[in-house]
Chain A
Amino acid sequence: MTVTMAGALNRALADALADDPSVLVFGEDVGALGGVFRVTDGLADRFGETRVFDTPLAESGIVGTAIGMAMNGLRPVVEMQFDAFAYPAFEQITSHLAKLRNRTGGKVSLPVVIRVPYGGGIGGVEHHSDSSEAYYTHTPGLTVVTPGTPDDAYRLLRDSIASPDPVIFLEPKRRYWAKGELSGPAVPMDRALVRKTGSDVTLIAYGPMVATALETADAAVEEGWDVEVVDLRTLTPFDDETVCASVRKTGRAVVVHEASGFGGYGAEVVARVTERCFHHLHAPVLRVTGFDIPYPPPKLEEHHLPNVDRILDAVARLQWDDEVVEAYGA
């Protein structure tokens, strides 16, 4: 069946609501409107106002009350309207959602999913295009997930709702309307996935950049490079095994994300890969990221966002002519 990513997410929510009476969906405009991206379209009608409802407009309130509800045995799935509008909830997320299991020695479980449409590329004006993943991945106790395809959006959201741990579910809003089959491989939530195999270089991507990385792999054929693409899917906990197996095989890697590079999630990926695969590397692991600037206005965002050319340029810089490496191998 062919669906958009938004449609796949809608289906996942509907199936979870139908399967488990403790699942609730709430947030801003998620009821009658179906969410500003229509991800909750029709759910309030089908499941009623006690299961799917609009809340007062207050993000800390949404997450804080979700914590209380989860303590009382429910499984809230809440929506933040946009990435930057989740910041008012940051204290509840970092000080409580992430820590309560540990604080209570496992007595309190918080199966809360916070859905956050994130990233740029939709011509959004200021505050509508942030890639905020690193704020969450830096917080132990959170699981941070971001799908790259409609099929994975369905599967990962179902898995996130079933998870006993709190999940920050980052939805790449520029891919909401991308279509795909609901029939991909059944991969456990915490595993990365090789989306395309190749022998020369590994592109490590997630969320909105998975499609860009796959396009790059196609374009690279003309340049004579056989590119492998790894889709991280779950950013934390990190799947070192899948990523390192790929990099050890290819000996070269580029990490791609929309977020600013400095102190970004990609820095962690580069560090982990370097620490674990150093002797297999023919070149430093490079990053292609957004610049270290506040997210630019829509008329300029194309210059900020990583694209195929920029990724190909990075691949070209991976010391392909290094005689020493050629001679002695890695």
Chain B
Amino acid sequence: MVHTRERSLLPTAEPLSLLNKDGSPVADPPLAMPDDGVLLELHRRMVIGRRFDTQATALTKQGRLAVYPSSRGQEACQVGAVLALGAHDWLFPTYRDSVALVTRGVDPAGTLTLLQGGWHLGYDPYEHRVGPQCTPLATNTLHAVGFAHAARLKGEDTAALVMLGDGATSEGDTHEALNFAGVWQAPVVFLVQNNGYAISVPLSKQNAAPSLAHKGIGYGVPSVLVDGNDAAAVYAVVREALESGGPTLIEARTYRIEAHTNADDATRYRTSDEVAAWLDRDPVDRVESYLTSRGLLDATRKAAVAAEAEEFAAAVRARLNTDQEHDPASMFEHVYATPTRQLREQAAALAGETA
């Protein structure tokens, strides 16, 4: 069955979904269910992504990473969105989106370079069409709009997807970006992962609109509210948005199971009951139950995926546990296209100190 939802400036009152939290399909689905092959891939990538995330948290505890913002609980957003992207599309992620990056194919060690602290970025953005992980909140929204508009001007069939958090929707750049995207009708998807908190600040102190997705109407940008723990639904709405050829604001309702980062103490601002309620809505379990009930995922395949995830984590562990040399001279490189005389002198002075 082909679903052609009319693109609306206002989101639905309730989040769109395809799977109930127990994995049963929703009655009267508002979206087209992805193909079985896609669903299996969503599951596989989410299992690997979660294992990667757990590994990164462990490496942080061992002092191998300077800091790690976990996306545990948000795998449906990170994986669903990335698998919906075409090869020519671009992803503009944040610090939170390591799982999205490895799903896109970015080298996992390179994904962690920023957080490991050896350099600010560990991959070539042009290789997998992934912008640098962005720390200044919401600033990447404008890069995505500019990139997508440039593609349009150049006659290229490229869309951009930018990830941001609920807190980042309060930043001015988000609003400028939505407005530019609306005026230019740029092929860009704003995926807001509403995980309920900006560090400690709950959504209620961030926003007075009926939903974050409601903000789209002010900019003429069609908006969608989706269950962010339903990978099938996230995949479907991102796909629709990419295919629309114009801008879309998507709010995905999800939850950050871990603290903001390893350095944060979440018990100061939220209850364990709240966390437990969201553990009950686990995005990986949901797809797994559905695929199992459909007979698409048996014990053998589950074990194979789990083994693959273990292997993935082991490789990350091995890479990150290897002590790396950090050449101080690298600090002076690529400040300008051609090193200035002053930087050459300063680099030489430092080399003299460390010789």
Contact = CB atoms under 8 A, between A and B. Distances in A.
A68 B337 contact: no
Contacts of B342: 237-238, 240
Contacts of A96: 136, 139, 143
A100 interface: yes
Contact of B125 (A58, A108, A141): A108
Contact of B335 (A65, A70, A92, A140): A140
Nearest to B178: A61
Interface string A82-97: 0000001001100110
Contact of B142 (A68, A106, A141, A165): A68
Given A68-B144, A71-B143, A102 B124 contact: no
Given A65-B146, A92-B142, A100-B132, A72 B334 contact: no
Contacts of B341: 237, 240-241
A92 B121 contact: no
A99 B336 CA distance: 9
Interface string A61-85: 1011111111111100000000000
Contacts of B121: 103-105
Contact of B334 (A50, A55, A102, A143): A102
Interface string B145-187: 1111111011000001000000000001100110110010000
A95 B334 CA distance: 15
Given A106-B333, A164-B337, A58 B150 contact: no
Contacts of B141: 64
A91 B139 contact: yes
B131 interface: yes
B120 interface: yes
A60 B125 contact: no
A58 B143 contact: no
Given A107-B125, A143-B336, A64 B142 contact: yes
B340 interface: yes
A185 interface: no
Nearest to A92: B139
Contacts of B340: 237
Contacts of B125: 71, 104, 107-108
Contacts of B333: 102, 105-106
Contact of B143 (A55, A56, A68, A106): A68
A55 B148 CA distance: 15
B139 A61 contact: no
Contacts of A146: none
A264 B143 CA distance: 31
Contacts of B180: 55-56, 58, 61, 65
A154 to B, nearest CB: 23
Contact of A72 (B119, B139, B150, B330): B150
Contacts of B160: 68
A249 interface: no
A196 interface: no
A106 B132 CA distance: 12
Report whether over half of chain B's contact residues are helix, strand or loop; otherwise say mixed. Answer: helix
Interface centre among A72, A141, A143 (most CB of B within 10 A): A72
A64 B147 contact: no
Contact of A165 (B126, B145, B146, B337): B337
A105 B119 contact: yes
A72 B150 CA distance: 6
Contacts of A71: 125, 131, 143, 146-147, 150
A310 to B, nearest CB: 31
B142 A60 contact: yes
A175 B136 CA distance: 37
A158 interface: no
Nearest to A68: B146
A109 interface: yes
Contacts of B176: 56, 58, 60-61, 64
A96 B135 CA distance: 10
A266 to B, nearest CB: 18
A28 to B, nearest CB: 13
B132 to A, nearest CB: 6
B179 A67 contact: no
A66 B176 CA distance: 13
Most buried by A among B132, B334, B341: B334
A73 B146 contact: no
A47 B306 CA distance: 58
Contacts of A56: 176, 179-180, 183
Given A66-B146, A104-B124, A107-B125, A58 B179 contact: yes
A101 interface: yes
Nearest to B345: A240
Nearest to B133: A103
A164 B340 CA distance: 14
Interface of B: 119-121, 124-126, 131-132, 136, 139, 141-151, 153-154, 160, 172-173, 176-177, 179-180, 183, 330, 333-337, 340-342
Counting from the closest, the 5 A-B pairs by CB-CB distance are: A68-B146, A64-B142, A65-B146, A61-B176, A72-B150
Given A64-B141, A64-B142, A105-B121, 15 more contacts: A24-B153, A50-B153, A55-B183, A56-B180, A64-B177, A66-B146, A68-B147, A69-B147, A72-B151, A74-B150, A92-B173, A96-B136, A99-B120, A101-B336, A165-B337
19 contacts: A56-B176, A58-B179, A60-B176, A61-B173, A61-B176, A61-B179, A68-B143, A68-B144, A71-B143, A73-B154, A91-B136, A91-B173, A96-B143, A104-B334, A107-B125, A108-B125, A165-B337, A237-B336, A237-B342
